[in-house]
Amino acid sequence: MIAIYPGTFDPATYGHIDIIMRASKVVDKLIVAVLNNSAKQPMFTVDERLQMLNETCGDISNIEITAFSGLLIEFAKHSGANAIIRGLRAVSDFEYEFQMALTNKILNEEVETLFISTSARYAYLSSSIVKEVAALGGCVESMVPAVIGDRLLQKIGK
Ligand code: PNS
pLDDT higher than threshold 70 for residue 38: no
Q: Atom 13 of ligand 1 has which residue's CA nearest to it?
A: 72
- Mean pLDDT of all residues in the chain? 95
Q: Is 7 in the pocket of ligand 1 (CB under 6 A)?
A: yes
Question: Which one of 9, 10, 35 would you pick to mutate in the ligand 1 pocket, going by the greatest count of ligand atoms within 8 A of its CB?
Answer: 35
Q: Ligand 1, residue 127: give the atom nearest the CA.
A: 1
pLDDT at position 39, please?
73
- Give CA–CA dist 68/75, Å, rounded: 7
**Rounded-to-integer distance, Cα 28 and Cα 68, Å:** 20
pLDDT in tens, 45-61: 999 999 999 999 999 99
DSSP per position, 95-155 = HHHHHHHHHHHHH-TTPEEEEEEPPGGGTT--HHHHHHHHHTT---TTTS-HHHHHHHHHH
At 86-139, the pLDDT tens digits run 999 988 889 999 999 999 999 999 999 999 999 999 999 999 999 999 999 999
Whether residue 66 has pLDDT greater than 90: yes
> Residue 132, CB half-sphere, CA atoms under 13 Å: how many?
5
Residue closest via CA to ligand 1's atom 3 equals 8
Q: For residue 72, report the distance from its CA to the centre of ligand 1, in Å.
A: 7
Nearest of 87, 97, 116 to residue 12 by alpha carbon: 87
